[in-house]
């Protein structure tokens, strides 16, 4: 640790900043400064121990930063002016606001003590700084080596109850990322009930922002919505037991003039897969408070003396160069510091899934027939979807009975897998491990293992219930059945599905005073099972799915490098779905397939080439019966696969620049992926609807080296990067839903 001395003020009073790699601390003025790549985050402690937020934005130099705390506007302390504490509490920017002492804005923490009181008063006690980033016990989180990030832990205490709160901040060296999480510990003598524990709060000193969220429904997930902040509270949340189709655990505050390439953007993403809460509140002083964390609706956590509670992580990204730069920072962070395992940096196998090809109507012979034809075309994996287990011929039975349905899988699973392997293809399989059908052997033996409220009718959805994953006995049993299947044959891919939300949220295994913990304990149970699976079978590629994209969140990405983006595989609908998803998540994580037409969800017919060009912006695969599609489409598959193999390294690892915006212009969309060293780029244009006398569009590219010359691989024409970006290129397509892909190679 080194000491840097800054001089400031006309009397040149001197303060010493203790400087580590990313985190600085000025002892005399109790100021903390976290520096990421181009970002600074600043807060300090008053003499009375309140943590006051000062700044979050473009990097600034050290010096006398106490003015950022705005204490001179209301110089209250217990020592000097106790009569005006209420004014201070409801006006200042707090790092981790609590309920009950005069701050009437949205709090992060509400804790009920043994007397039924809910006032909490956390004060700063100590801090420590260290290299790297800690794991969160039992939960997903970003990770970083000691030389890639630095972590600050602030310990605060409520003296009345003995509650300790440790605020954990990590600043990354090479990314504009700061993460936050919280640990609570009951150091008192009486139990406490945690009613609310959010993970992050940032108080901004103005209200000049737009609010961006990713919302939708089944088959139209993550629609980007943008509105101007107004007085009061604007929020999104989930109370479904998962992050949900309806709202994604992401929000951004952006300047009114922010677009893809300019303006300020603050992105917040919750590394969690259950109920969440995210809100921006414009206050009486025209300030804005942004908070994010576990949803406090129907939540309670009993914290006995000596016990701890760990809240999930919030990722905070700052960009001074628009929404696009914010997105690329999220992409880099998740590709390098969240996604793990063998497939972290690898191209995924090109698969064919039989779901839309056959639904439940398949057997061994049908699957082998599909595999034989697929293998000739260059497809690398067959995935057997729903319907292979129990006695499942429709979606009304057998969930929980994870043993082979021999009426369909004649000769057994190993025979089927071996036959597929003989064709040179890998084999994957579908599970829905969190669910149980009333018509199943498991339910007959253990009806108490389903989530339920004793004496109340249980709500079915898709004729299934949800297993109580807070119960380790349930998890152990399910995992034992899964292991029997995985050990019986050469299975190299799992699609983990979840097709309904939670209702009648009660557990037969939890005591009365812990029933409201089930929402969170359920998610911890899912994480536990996924962790076991990825630890015991590190070579299996795990893809998450929840009725499509209902659990497309960073918590899932920690366990699976890809997530099924949506059950809607229509190429034109996917433009919006994949555009919205890319606001926060990298395309390397987006499960995307070429499906048959008319599309099973919307009935639209699109060119086979466009279906391939859109699915290429993802993991890429096929969702159709390759033995029955038109010969013209079948003949196109080898070319599509060759194109995917050629461009995937750039698409999977490069920088994404969104050029079109199908949310604003439903006539066309376009994007470009640029290699990190600017040596190559892949540009895609999709014409949604054709227009008369308007066949050539001039499109300005992005992200290229302006001083280099790039060759168009299709035409051989060469142009400077500055010409391609400032003047653009003409793109000609004809017909609704037509598309074009152009590869550019840097020549000099």
pLDDT in tens, 713-730: 999 999 999 999 999 999
Tokens of 439: 């018509």
pLDDT of residue 665: 83
pLDDT tens, residue by residue, 311-336: 999 999 999 999 999 999 999 999 99
Locus of tokens 């937020």: 53
Question: 25-29, 97-101, 589-593, 657-661 — which is least confidently predicted?
Answer: 25-29
Residue 365 has pLDDT above 70, yes or no: yes
Band (12; pLDDT cuts 50, 70, 90): very low
List Cβ neighbours of 695 (8 Å cut-off, separation of 6 or more).
732, 733, 734
Domain boundaries for CATH 3.20.20.70 within the chain: 351-440+468-495+515-654
**Beta-bridge partners for 517:** none
pLDDT of residue 81: 59
pTM, two decimal places: 0.96
Q: Across residues 421-427, what is the average pLDDT?
A: 98
The CATH T-level fold of domain 668-746 is Immunoglobulin-like (2.60.40)
List Cβ neighbours of 253 (8 Å cut-off, separation of 6 or more).
204, 209, 210, 211, 212, 229, 265, 266, 280, 288, 290
Strand pairing of 718-720 and 709-712? Answer: antiparallel
- Average model confidence (pLDDT) for the chain? 95
**Beta-bridge partners for 616:** none
Residue 4 has pLDDT above 50, yes or no: no
Residue 13 has pLDDT above 50, yes or no: no
Q: Across residues 260-281, what is the average pLDDT?
A: 98
Residue 77 has pLDDT above 60, yes or no: no
Tokens of 457: 């009718």
Residue 82 has pLDDT above 80, yes or no: no
Residue 14 has pLDDT above 50, yes or no: no
Tokens of 394: 């429709």
Q: Across residues 19-28, what is the average pLDDT?
A: 87
pLDDT tens, residue by residue, 431-449: 999 999 999 999 999 999 9
Look up the CATH number of domain 2-337.
Answer: 2.70.98.60
pLDDT tens, residue by residue, 271-305: 999 999 999 999 999 999 999 999 999 999 999 99
Catalytic-labelled residue, pool 121, 207, 497, 705 = 497
The CATH T-level fold of domain 351-440+468-495+515-654 is TIM Barrel (3.20.20)
Domain boundaries for CATH 2.60.40.1180 within the chain: 668-746
Cis status, amide bond into 187, omega within 30 of 0: no
Residue 19 has pLDDT above 90, yes or no: no
Domain boundaries for CATH 2.70.98.60 within the chain: 2-337
Whole-angstrom Cα Rg for the chain: 27
Band (25; pLDDT cuts 50, 70, 90): very high
pLDDT tens, residue by residue, 461-500: 999 999 999 999 999 999 999 999 999 999 999 999 999 9
Cβ(546)–Cβ(242) under 8 Å? yes
> Is position 570 annotated as part of the catalytic site?
no
Residue 65 has pLDDT above 90, yes or no: no
Catalytic-labelled residue, pool 121, 567, 633, 669 = 567
Candidates 23, 43, 27, 51; CA nearest to 129 is 23
HSE, side-chain direction, 13 A CA sphere, residue 409: 22
**Beta-bridge partners for 203:** 289
> Is position 669 annotated as part of the catalytic site?
no
């Amino acid at each position: 640790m080194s000491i840097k001395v800054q001089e400031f003020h006309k009397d040149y009073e001197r303060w010493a900043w203790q400087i580590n790699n990313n985190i600085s601390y000025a002892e005399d003025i109790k100021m903390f400064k976290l520096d990421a790549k181009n970002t600074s985050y600043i807060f300090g402690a008053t003499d009375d121990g309140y943590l006051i937020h000062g700044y979050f934005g473009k990097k600034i130099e050290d010096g006398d930063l106490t003015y950022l705390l705005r204490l001179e506007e209301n110089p209250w302390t217990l020592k000097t002016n106790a009569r005006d504490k209420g004014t201070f509490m409801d006006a200042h920017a707090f790092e981790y606001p609590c309920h009950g002492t005069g701050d009437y804005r949205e709090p992060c923490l509400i804790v009920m003590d043994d007397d039924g009181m809910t006032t909490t008063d956390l004060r700063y006690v100590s801090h420590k700084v260290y290299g790297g980033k800690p794991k969160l016990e039992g939960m997903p989180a970003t990770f970083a080596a000691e030389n890639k990030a630095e972590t600050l832990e602030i310990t605060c205490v409520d003296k009345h109850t003995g509650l300790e709160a440790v605020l954990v901040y990590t600043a990354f060296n090479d990314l504009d990322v700061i993460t936050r999480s919280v640990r609570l510990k009951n150091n008192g003598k009486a139990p406490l009930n945690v009613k609310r524990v959010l993970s992050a709060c940032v108080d901004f000193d103005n209200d000049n922002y737009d609010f961006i969220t990713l919302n939708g429904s089944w088959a139209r997930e993550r629609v980007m919505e943008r509105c101007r902040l107004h007085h009061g509270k604007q929020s999104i949340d989930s109370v479904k037991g998962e992050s949900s189709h309806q709202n994604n655990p992401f929000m951004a505050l952006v300047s009114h003039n922010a677009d893809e390439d300019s303006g300020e953007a603050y992105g917040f993403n919750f590394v969690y897969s259950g109920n969440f809460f995210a809100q921006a509140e414009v206050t009486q002083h025209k300030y804005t408070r942004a908070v994010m964390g576990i949803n406090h609706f129907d939540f309670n956590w009993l914290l006995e003396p000596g016990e701890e509670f760990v809240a999930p992580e919030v990722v905070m990204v700052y960009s001074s160069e628009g929404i696009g730069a914010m997105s690329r920072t999220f992409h880099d962070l998740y590709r390098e510091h969240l996604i793990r395992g063998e497939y972290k940096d690898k191209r995924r196998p090109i698969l064919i899934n039989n779901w839309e090809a056959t639904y439940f109507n398949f057997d061994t012979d049908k699957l082998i027939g599909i595999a034989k034809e697929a293998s000739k075309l260059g497809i690398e994996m067959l995935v057997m979807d729903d319907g292979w287990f129990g006695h499942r011929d429709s979606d009304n039975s057998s969930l929980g009975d994870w043993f082979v349905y021999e009426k369909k899988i004649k000769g057994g699973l190993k025979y089927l897998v071996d036959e597929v392997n003989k064709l040179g293809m890998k084999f994957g399989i579908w599970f829905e491990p969190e669910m149980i059908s009333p018509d199943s052997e498991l339910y007959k033996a253990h009806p108490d293992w389903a989530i339920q409220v004793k004496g109340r009718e249980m709500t079915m959805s898709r004729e299934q219930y949800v297993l109580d994953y807070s119960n380790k006995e349930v998890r152990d049993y399910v995992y034992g059945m899964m292991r029997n299947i995985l050990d019986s044959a050469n299975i190299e891919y799992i699609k983990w599905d979840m097709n309904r939300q939670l209702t009648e949220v009660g557990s037969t295994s939890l005591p009365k005073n812990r029933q409201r913990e089930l929402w969170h304990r359920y998610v911890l149970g899912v994480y536990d099972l996924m962790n076991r699976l990825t630890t015991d079978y590190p070579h299996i590629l795990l893809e998450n799915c929840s009725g499509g994209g209902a659990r497309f969140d960073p918590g899932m990405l920690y366990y699976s490098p890809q997530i099924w983006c949506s059950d809607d595989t229509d190429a034109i609908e996917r433009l919006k779905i994949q555009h919205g998803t890319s606001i926060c998540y990298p395309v390397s994580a987006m499960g995307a397939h070429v499906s048959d037409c008319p599309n099973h969800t919307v009935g639209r017919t699109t060119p086979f080439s466009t279906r391939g060009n859109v699915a290429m912006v993802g993991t890429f695969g096929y969702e159709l019966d390759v033995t029955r599609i038109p010969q013209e489409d079948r003949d196109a598959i080898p070319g599509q696969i060759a194109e995917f193999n050629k461009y995937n390294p750039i698409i999977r690892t490069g920088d994404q620049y969104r050029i079109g915006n199908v949310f604003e212009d439903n006539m066309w969309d376009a994007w470009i992926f640029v290699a990190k060293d600017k040596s190559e780029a892949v540009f895609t244009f999709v014409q949604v609807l054709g227009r008369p006398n308007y066949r050539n569009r001039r499109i300005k590219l992005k992200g290229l080296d302006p001083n280099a010359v790039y060759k168009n691989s299709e035409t051989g024409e060469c142009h400077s990067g500055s010409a391609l970006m400032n003047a653009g290129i003409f793109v000609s397509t004809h017909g609704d839903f037509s598309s074009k892909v152009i590869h550019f190679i840097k020549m000099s």
